[in-house]
Amino acid sequence: MTLLDVGGLTVTGRHLIVDGVDLNVSRGETVGLVGESGSGKSLTARAVAGLLPKGLTATGSVTLSGRELLGARERLLRSVRGSQVALLMQDPFAMLNPLRTAGAHVAESLPRLPRAARRAEVLRRLAEVGIADPSVAGRHPFQLSGGMRQRVALAAALARDPELLIADEPTTALDATTQHEILMLLRGVQRARGMGVLLITHDLRVAFELCDRVSVMYAGRIVESGPGSGVAGAPAHPYTSGLLAALPSVTVTLPRLEAVPGSVPHAEDVTDVCAFAARCGQAEPECGQARPPLRELSPGRRTACLYEVRPRPRTAPPALAPDAAPAGGTLLRVEELRKEYGGHVALGGVSLDVGAGESVGVVGESGSGKTTLARCVLGLATPDGGRVELAGLDVTPGARAARREGAHRLVQCVFQDPSTSLNPALTVGAMLAEAAAQGRAEGRPSVAELLDLVGLPTAYASRRPRALSGGERQRVAIARALAVRPALLICDEPTASLDVSVQAHVLELLRTIRRELGTALLFITHDLAVVRQIADRTMVLFRGEVVESGETARVLDAPAHDYTRRLLASVPPTP
């Protein structure tokens, strides 16, 4: 029985954003809506929930249990939200009030009950999402891990027993094991309640593992839809095929990470043509002359491509041996590094080394100590013990300032979210010129050279960060880090929030930089498929201690520690 029926949904503001979307969700069914950033996925979800930002309007039809929601009065929409449709966001901080406890978030959505009964019901709701510890109800969001916050947000969203849950990128920022736990939790709750779920995600592995049906969205339109297994096994649109080809493998090191060229166009610029034609390697002249309809291939299987898509090879590509690290001795040496925060051991005597030109991966769950390790190496945190050497110099935070003189020219960092590390008031050119001025005068790169190094046009020098896509901002962040020609580049989850195609671009760029400049990499990630493609050696951290290390292929193919095996078991299968 159809629960949600969306027909001809169009969202406009100053520009056309969503262009005639049709989709439906039945009771007890999970439907995935996938595509790159800018495709219109999240605004489609917000239009369904009646939560479009100010200045945007929606037309078409959105019916929930037969009731039309588009154009309905706000009073009706308020009564529907929570009780019939609930929204679970990517970042639980966007849903949770930092001043309220976890229990209070759940309690505010419950009907009026006596205090004791309400307390019992809050604990029951938290237990439903896997929080068995009653003390969590009294904690504030900042006292909880990312996975725990997401569980609290889910409990609050489900507190009024909605018929439909819209989950917008609910696992994007989580590590593999926590992601797996949240996905299995969603599946269990949905089955127990018979609830419909609309899952918005750019993670194809997640979509194909969890969803009964998948719709692929591009430039405001649905370009392919069908059962998850059918779409994954035999994509009928070249865009879907391109996204699948860009997925990194956890089992083999790919010779090249194939990204979809270009970027998603604005919906209003491609209303009368195939929106994907400019990026499609199979495009014919007809593709630029008319808009292809979403035609039915078989019952429940549709595509907006005029031609039969050439299938991807189903055999695994040949394994690629990682680049051999050039001989040059040890560049970074960390010995018995220890760090505590309020009695919590973040690092319990960690040692590692990175050779000149080598790439070393550090993997582990959130809270394992990965970022604390990077901060200590960068001098952003002072360890409680141990030693950090760069090119034979003692640069341990807390050592004499003279010893750290010029250390910034030896090591630079690329962070997960470039929007927090780029100055929004400066142009790209100004930021790169400022960074280059910190390096040695001889051989100082120009702004044009830095942009060319990361594959961006020279014209981007006049743009500000807000005018760039997420992938373009990350390229600028990499260019800025390379401006002083560092010997070591620390990458702290640099692709965690990127679309699969943009991720492939960035990883291939880092491979090229390492190969052409000889820059060593210390690559921190929770994504084992990513570390497989980028690292010669991998170190596994668990609760601040190294539990396994060695050549990446050996660690991932024949893990010796139970924790490593658990991490690998949490990775959704590659379609």
pLDDT single digits (tens) 213-226: 999 999 999 999 99
* pLDDT at residue number 561: 97
Nearest residue to 298 via CA among 223, 226, 207, 214: 226
* pLDDT at residue number 297: 92
* pLDDT at residue number 134: 92
User: Does the pLDDT value for residue 129 go beyond 70?
Assistant: yes
Asked if residue 390 and residue 438 are part of one domain, the reply reads: no
Residue 373 in any domain: the answer is yes
Nearest residue to 21 via CA among 207, 225, 243: 225
Residue 349: left if φ>0, alpha if ψ -120 to 50, beta else—which one? left
Q: How far apart are CA 431 and CA 289, in angstroms?
A: 42
**Which band of pLDDT confidence, cut at 50, 70 and 90, is reported for residue 399?**
low
Residue 499 in any domain: the answer is yes
How much is the pTM?
0.87
Asked if residue 227 and residue 105 are part of one domain, the reply reads: no
Residue keyed to tokens 């051989």:
443
Q: How far apart are CA 59 and CA 66, in angstroms?
A: 17
Asked if residue 355 and residue 229 are part of one domain, the reply reads: no
Nearest residue to 198 via CA among 47, 79, 52, 93: 47
Residue 17 in any domain: the answer is yes
Of residues 170 and 339, more confidently modeled: 339
* pLDDT at residue number 170: 85
User: Does the pLDDT value for residue 50 go beyond 50?
Assistant: yes
Nearest residue to 470 via CA among 255, 214, 218, 202: 202
Asked if residue 223 and residue 106 are part of one domain, the reply reads: no
Asked if residue 236 and residue 184 are part of one domain, the reply reads: yes
**Which band of pLDDT confidence, cut at 50, 70 and 90, is reported for residue 405?**
low
Q: How many domains does the chain have?
A: 4
Query: Half-sphere exposure of 458 toward its Cβ, with a 13 Å CA cutoff?
Result: 4
User: Does the pLDDT value for residue 511 go beyond 70?
Assistant: yes
Residue % of the chain over a pLDDT of 90: 55
With contact defined as beta carbons under 8 Å apart, do 397 and 383 qualify? Answer: yes
Residue 415 in any domain: the answer is no
Average pLDDT of the residues in 521-545: 95
**Which band of pLDDT confidence, cut at 50, 70 and 90, is reported for residue 280?**
very high
Asked if residue 356 and residue 468 are part of one domain, the reply reads: no
Q: How far apart are CA 475 and CA 453, in angstroms?
A: 9
Strands 221-227 and 330-341: unpaired
Asked if residue 72 and residue 172 are part of one domain, the reply reads: yes
User: Does the pLDDT value for residue 318 go beyond 70?
Assistant: no
Beta-bridged to residue 341, according to DSSP, are 344
* Pair of tokens at residue 199: 């899952």
Average pLDDT score over the chain: 88
**Which band of pLDDT confidence, cut at 50, 70 and 90, is reported for residue 400?**
low
- 144 three-class SS: coil
Average pLDDT of the residues in 300-317: 72
**Which band of pLDDT confidence, cut at 50, 70 and 90, is reported for residue 406?**
low
Asked if residue 495 and residue 387 are part of one domain, the reply reads: yes
* Pair of tokens at residue 206: 């997640």
Alpha-carbon separation of residue 164 from 28, 44, 143, 311, 521 (angstroms): 9, 15, 29, 35, 44
- The CATH number for 228's domain is 3.40.50.300
Residue 135 in any domain: the answer is yes
Residue 342: left if φ>0, alpha if ψ -120 to 50, beta else—which one? left
Asked if residue 478 and residue 498 are part of one domain, the reply reads: no
* pLDDT at residue number 111: 80
* pLDDT at residue number 320: 46
Residue-level length of the chain: 575
DSSP state of 239: H
Asked if residue 450 and residue 405 are part of one domain, the reply reads: no
Nearest residue to 492 via CA among 502, 481, 501, 505: 481
Asked if residue 139 and residue 62 are part of one domain, the reply reads: no
* Pair of tokens at residue 442: 């001889």
- 182 three-class SS: helix
* pLDDT at residue number 404: 54
Query: Half-sphere exposure of 273 toward its Cβ, with a 13 Å CA cutoff?
Result: 18
Residue 94 in any domain: the answer is no
461-477: per-residue pLDDT in tens?
999 998 887 778 888 99
User: Does the pLDDT value for residue 189 go beyond 50?
Assistant: yes
Of residues 121 and 404, more confidently modeled: 121
User: Does the pLDDT value for residue 314 go beyond 60?
Assistant: no
By CB atoms closer than 10 A (0-12, 13-18, 19+), residue 452 is middle
Residue keyed to tokens 């588009």:
70
DSSP state of 515: H
Residue 324 in any domain: the answer is no
Q: How far apart are CA 500 and CA 527, in angstroms?
A: 12
Q: Cβ contacts of residue 204 below 8 Å, gap of 6+?
A: 34, 232, 243, 244, 247, 500, 575
Asked if residue 406 and residue 436 are part of one domain, the reply reads: no
* pLDDT at residue number 217: 96
Q: Give me the domain span that covers residue 358.
A: 330-410+488-569
Exposure class string for 494-528: b at 16+ Cβ within 10 A, else e: bbbbbbbbbbbbbbbbbbebbeeeebbbbbbbbbb
DSSP state of 545: E
141-156: per-residue pLDDT in tens?
888 877 888 889 999 9
User: Does the pLDDT value for residue 183 go beyond 50?
Assistant: yes
* Pair of tokens at residue 422: 């780029």
Of 310-314, 354-358, 449-453, 504-508, which gets the smallest average pLDDT?
310-314
* pLDDT at residue number 58: 95
Of 93-97, 195-199, 397-401, 544-548, which gets the smallest average pLDDT?
397-401
